[in-house]
């Protein structure tokens, strides 16, 4: 039976990823507010944790309440997708997280969900995998550009430490496999743009906007166009200042537009717009001058950097709005959809240029009530029961070539590689001068022994001594480098670099600040990457470069006791088992802190639990490779396989249950709110005893760390756990008291019902000015070893709420009861079987939880959010009701001619109009009473006819909605002789 609905139905339905949400504590607990028998029609779910949709056609800014920086938004028009309505996709920066470059989806530009990632891991190298002292904190994937062109989706982004820019492409942005192309060079804040003739460009730059033209296949750069326009072109304009980057390009009404972020001195971050009739500006203009006009278009509360977004206008045409993010640390950088009014080809954003924080705007795209209810349930964070039921995604099947571990020469390890390192041979050799310097032995002022090396005639920062180490250094080996340095004339102090140069630019191996007049040791460790050309590498002592050359470039100095020694190799190498999928599938809200080692986490080892097993022992020898001072990492930052989600504001509570029976001595496992500054509640196992406590790391951040002392428990927060093997922990994150700071309060329970606060709230966590991580705080589950590997911790669930214990609110089951009540009124016949099964599973979890008692609001909210999402989904998927109409068709002979007789019976409780249609005629019978028939005998005027089909259309009303039901009836062939 085919059913058509004549009412105004919306377009296609989303492809939904089903992940059961919220495992509940099935044990006795506290008395709760609300009643178990809530009226079904009371179900009106709140918006999700990351939605600012008010449910009345308005939304507040910024959106999402979470860290979603460097956004790029693309519309796929209704005519070019299989859903029949405009779809929006958005991509963001995730830096060192894995998987990375999330693809988010929306129908209304206000409510978003994560539907895919571009990559599982950006690299299998050491820096993206926390191996061998390397890391990608604050680096990795930056500032993606998302574009749809000729049926293909493209993503371009830059990496600060992974060999430059890449382009990924797929023909299915939600489920397809991505193909990666390396462009071989860095392109800061790239914006992919297809010109009106299809020619692809990437615009990029900081301080100025440049471009490269790509070949037709987007696999290589064909032409450079440096400095199409720069900040200097607009000198004196009030919007000119720092940044001048993040350009995104558009073609609107015959003009090329670029939106850029600037940060003038003494002002806030703001949006500047540029436009020109010539895309390449000075490169195609008649006089070779800059053709881009500029205008500051938004300077309000720091909303800046992002996309223009097109919205189809009723009756035709397009409106262009802005999607710009705002720094809202420590939550992160949060985007805002900002309406625009255009005049003379320029926009005014917000309310006459003003965008209040928490300001309200009308939604530009309205959906049906059922669709809007569903959209408001979507989120970019999620509670999880670790049921391993997330859909498999193609990005998880990346193919990597595992490099063969190097064959090392052990004779070159643990020995001094420099010749004449102490200058005791009576000559300078094998040292040589570079960039005009002079070298001479100085027996009068040695740090040790009989002589030092004096470096004179310096005019450049590189003027100094070097020694060729070709054939002595090895890839993947970590070297301890040091030198004693002294100078007497010049600045009060000078930074000196111990550097390596193999023709790809000077690499600083170690550096230190030397005060005038005293011997000072500069030392550090450096691992030679696989890309280093060790057949032609020299070691040098230099001062930092500057333009113009700084005063330090002319300082004459002494060096003594220089050393380069390769350390015994305990190098980790990537393996297939580390990288290959392990059969466990996490909800798309989760990302790992750096690429995970898939051997040491699982959702399959214990059903319904996340298992984290220690695979390595922390060393305390990791440093921020991004920071010039090479500050050390904490153990927590060094730990691999920390699983994380975004935080959300203004308040967030996260709860988990830990089975700690598999921990080993020296293990530390728990729940963290983290960035470079972090707070966590953890169990530590020492001498066979488990102790619970709280750690807080705040600013200022030291360069050299005592990691054990840094991560020691705060006084007044420790609890000996005795024989307990299971402990519940909860972190309450408050971003609102005051705004701009994060204060976290930790709690624990042994039964999930009775909770005890662990000390006072800890904080404040604030923005790290060094931008070492350069992202908002995240919540993480972790387990690391300080002594031996193999310890394990199992996490039973992850439960979210926006209610904090400190608010003193009674536990409220009202929303949960309403969802359960509404679910019990539904009829399975009205819904697709798979969606109905998903709802019933969520309902079973919710009812089981409601049958017990609760200890926290998290235990109530998690099942309610899961059930409400499934109920809202059913509201959109509800099958059209059918009119109960039956029909038959027969043939007969009358007077030697064939006739087709069609009859339809109205089984509805109200009259219907019935149309009977055959190849031989059509008849409509109006107002057919309940139980009555519509009948017609159609003459064919033929002596014989073949078998055929009659179509019957019945039109009536069900619950006030006009429904048309179509049924068919076949009739046999008939021969009436001749």
pLDDT, tens only, 174-220:
999 999 999 999 999 999 999 999 999 999 999 999 999 999 999 99
Average pLDDT, the chain: 93
Burial of 590-606, coded b for 16+ CB within 10 Å and e otherwise, reads bbbbbbbbbebbbbeee
Q: How far apart are CA 623 and CA 626, in angstroms?
A: 9
Q: Is the pLDDT of residue 14 over 70?
A: no
The per-residue pLDDT for range 118-154, each reduced to its tens digit, is 999 999 999 999 999 999 999 999 999 999 999 999 9
How crowded is residue 456: how many other Cβ atoms within 10 Å of its Cβ? Answer: 13
Label residue 978 by pLDDT band (50, 70, 90): low
Task: State in words which class domain 623-801 has.
Answer: mainly beta
Share of the chain above pLDDT 70, in %: 96
The per-residue pLDDT for range 891-901, each reduced to its tens digit, is 999 988 999 99
Does domain 885-975 match CATH 1.25.10?
Answer: no
pLDDT of residue 838: 96
The per-residue pLDDT for range 627-680, each reduced to its tens digit, is 989 899 999 999 999 999 999 999 999 999 999 999 999 999 999 999 999 999
pLDDT of residue 33: 47
Share of the chain above pLDDT 90, in %: 88
pLDDT of residue 977: 82
Domain boundaries in the chain? 2-44+811-877, 58-397, 410-566, 623-801, 885-975
Contact 249, 203 (CB under 8 A): yes
Does domain 58-397 match CATH 2.115.10.20?
Answer: yes
The per-residue pLDDT for range 835-889, each reduced to its tens digit, is 999 999 999 999 999 999 999 999 999 999 999 999 999 999 987 678 899 999 9
In this structure, CATH architecture of domain 410-566: Sandwich (2.60)
The per-residue pLDDT for range 612-630, each reduced to its tens digit, is 999 999 999 999 989 989 8
pLDDT of residue 405: 82
Contact 894, 887 (CB under 8 A): no
Averaged pLDDT for residues 552-565: 97
Q: Picking from 379-383, 464-468, 500-504, 814-818, which range would have the lowest pLDDT averaged per residue?
A: 500-504
Label residue 503 by pLDDT band (50, 70, 90): confident
Averaged pLDDT for residues 284-313: 95
Averaged pLDDT for residues 35-39: 44
Angle at 374 between CA 370 and CA 377, to 5 degrees: 145
Task: Tell me if domain 58-397 and domain 623-801 are identical in fold.
Answer: no
pLDDT of residue 30: 41
Averaged pLDDT for residues 557-584: 93
Averaged pLDDT for residues 230-249: 94
Averaged pLDDT for residues 310-334: 94
Q: Is the pLDDT of residue 23 over 80?
A: no
For residue 161, what are its two tokens?
């430490």
Burial of 527-560, coded b for 16+ CB within 10 Å and e otherwise, reads bbeeebeeeebbbbbbbbeeeebbebbbbbbbbb
pLDDT of residue 26: 27
Q: Is the pLDDT of residue 8 over 70?
A: no
* C-alpha torsion 321→325→328→332, nearest 10: 140
């Amino acid at each position: 039976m085919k059913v058509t609905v004549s009412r105004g139905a919306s377009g296609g339905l989303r492809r939904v990823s089903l992940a059961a949400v919220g495992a509940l504590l099935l044990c006795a607990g506290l008395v709760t507010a609300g009643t178990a028998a809530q009226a079904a029609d009371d179900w009106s779910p709140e918006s999700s944790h990351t939605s600012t949709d008010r449910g009345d056609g308005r939304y507040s800014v910024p959106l999402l309440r979470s860290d979603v920086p460097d956004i790029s938004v693309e519309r796929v028009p209704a005519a070019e997708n299989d859903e029949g309505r405009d779809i929006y996709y958005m991509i963001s920066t995730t830096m060192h997280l894995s998987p990375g470059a999330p693809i988010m989806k929306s129908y209304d530009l206000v409510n978003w969900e994560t539907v895919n990632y571009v990559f599982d891991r950006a690299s299998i190298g050491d820096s993206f995998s926390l191996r061998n002292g390397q890391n990608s904190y604050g680096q990795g994937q930056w500032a993606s550009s998302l574009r749809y062109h000729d049926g293909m989706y493209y993503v371009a982004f830059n990496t600060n430490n992974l060999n430059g820019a890449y382009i990924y492409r797929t023909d299915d942005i939600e489920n397809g496999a991505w193909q990666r192309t390396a462009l071989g060079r860095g392109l800061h804040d790239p914006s992919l743009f297809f010109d009106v003739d299809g020619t692809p460009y990437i615009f990029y730059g900081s301080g100025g906007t440049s471009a490269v033209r790509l070949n037709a296949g987007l696999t290589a750069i064909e032409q450079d166009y440096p400095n199409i326009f720069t900040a200097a072109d607009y000198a004196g304009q009030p919007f000119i200042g720092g940044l001048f980057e993040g350009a995104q390009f558009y073609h609107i009404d015959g003009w090329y537009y670029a939106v850029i972020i600037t940060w003038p001195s003494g002002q806030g971050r703001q949006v500047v717009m540029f436009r020109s009739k010539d895309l390449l500006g000075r490169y195609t203009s008649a006089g070779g001058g800059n053709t881009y006009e500029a205008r500051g278009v938004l300077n309000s509360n720091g909303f800046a950097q992002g996309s223009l977004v097109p919205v189809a206008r009723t009756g035709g045409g397009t409106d262009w709005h802005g999607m710009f993010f705002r720094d809202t640390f420590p939550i992160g950088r949060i985007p805002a959809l900002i309406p625009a009014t255009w005049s003379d080809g320029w926009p005014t954003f917000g309310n006459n240029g003003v965008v209040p924080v928490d300001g309200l705007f009308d939604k530009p795209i309205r959906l049906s009530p059922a669709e809007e209810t569903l959209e408001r349930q979507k989120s970019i964070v999620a509670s999880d029961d670790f049921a391993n039921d997330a859909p498999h995604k193609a990005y998880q099947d990346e193919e990597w070539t595992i490099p063969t571990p190097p064959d090392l020469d052990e004779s070159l390890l643990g020995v001094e590689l420099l010749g004449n390192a102490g200058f005791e041979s009576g000559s300078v050799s094998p040292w040589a001068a570079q960039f005009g310097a002079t070298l001479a032995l100085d027996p009068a002022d040695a740090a040790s022994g009989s002589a030092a090396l004096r470096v004179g005639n310096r005019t450049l920062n590189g003027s100094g001594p070097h020694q060729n180490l070709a054939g002595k250094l090895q890839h993947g080996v970590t070297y301890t480098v040091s030198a004693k340095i002294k100078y007497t004339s010049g600045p009060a102090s000078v930074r000196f670099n111990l550097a390596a140069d193999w023709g790809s630019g000077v690499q600083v191996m170690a550096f230190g600040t030397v005060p005038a007049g005293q011997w000072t040791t500069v030392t550090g460790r450096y691992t030679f990457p696989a890309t280093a050309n060790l057949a032609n590498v020299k070691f040098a002592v230099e001062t930092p470069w500057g333009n113009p050359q700084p005063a330090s470039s002319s300082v004459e100095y002494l060096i003594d006791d220089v050393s380069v020694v390769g350390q015994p190799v305990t190098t980790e190498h990537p393996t297939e088992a580390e990288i290959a999928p392990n059969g466990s599938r996490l909800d798309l809200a989760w990302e790992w802190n750096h690429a995970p080692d898939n051997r040491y986490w699982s959702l399959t080892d214990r059903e319904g639990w996340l298992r984290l097993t220690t695979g390595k022992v922390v060393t305390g020898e990791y440093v921020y490779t991004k920071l010039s001072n090479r500050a050390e990492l904490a153990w927590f930052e060094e730990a691999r396989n920390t699983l994380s989600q975004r935080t959300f504001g203004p308040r967030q509570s996260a709860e988990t249950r830990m089975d700690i029976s598999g921990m080993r001595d020296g293990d530390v496992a728990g729940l963290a709110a983290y960035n470079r500054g972090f707070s966590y509640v953890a169990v530590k196992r020492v001498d066979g005893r488990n102790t619970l406590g709280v750690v807080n790391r705040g600013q200022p951040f030291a360069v050299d760390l005592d990691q054990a002392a840094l991560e020691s428990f705060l006084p007044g927060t420790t609890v000996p756990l005795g024989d307990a093997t299971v402990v519940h922990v909860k972190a309450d994150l408050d971003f609102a008291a005051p705004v701009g700071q994060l204060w976290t309060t930790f709690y624990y329970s042994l039964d999930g019902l009775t909770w005890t606060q662990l000390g006072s709230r800890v904080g404040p966590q604030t923005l790290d000015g060094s931008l070492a991580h350069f992202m908002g705080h995240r919540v993480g589950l972790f387990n690391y070893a300080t002594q031996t590997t193999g310890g394990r911790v199992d996490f039973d669930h992850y439960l979210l709420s926006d209610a904090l214990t400190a608010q003193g609110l009674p536990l409220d089951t009202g929303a949960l009861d309403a969802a359960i009540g509404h679910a019990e009124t539904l009829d399975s016949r009205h819904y697709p079987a798979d969606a109905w099964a998903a709802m019933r599973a969520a309902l079973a979890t919710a009812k089981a939880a409601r049958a017990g008692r609760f200890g926290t609001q998290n235990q109530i909210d998690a099942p309610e959010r899961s059930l409400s999402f499934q109920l809202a989904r059913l509201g959109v998927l509800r099958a059209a009701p059918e009119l109960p109409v039956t029909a038959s068709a027969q043939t007969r002979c009358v007077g030697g001619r064939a006739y087709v007789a069609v009859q339809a019976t109205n089984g509805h409780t109200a009259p219907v109009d019935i149309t009977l249609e055959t190849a031989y005629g059509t008849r409509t019978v109006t107002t057919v009473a309940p139980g009555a028939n519509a009948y017609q005998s159609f003459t064919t005027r033929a002596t014989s006819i073949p078998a055929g089909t009659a179509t019957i259309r019945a039109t009536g009303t069900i619950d006030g909605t006009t429904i048309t039901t179509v049924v068919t009836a076949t009739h046999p062939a008939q021969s009436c002789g001749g």
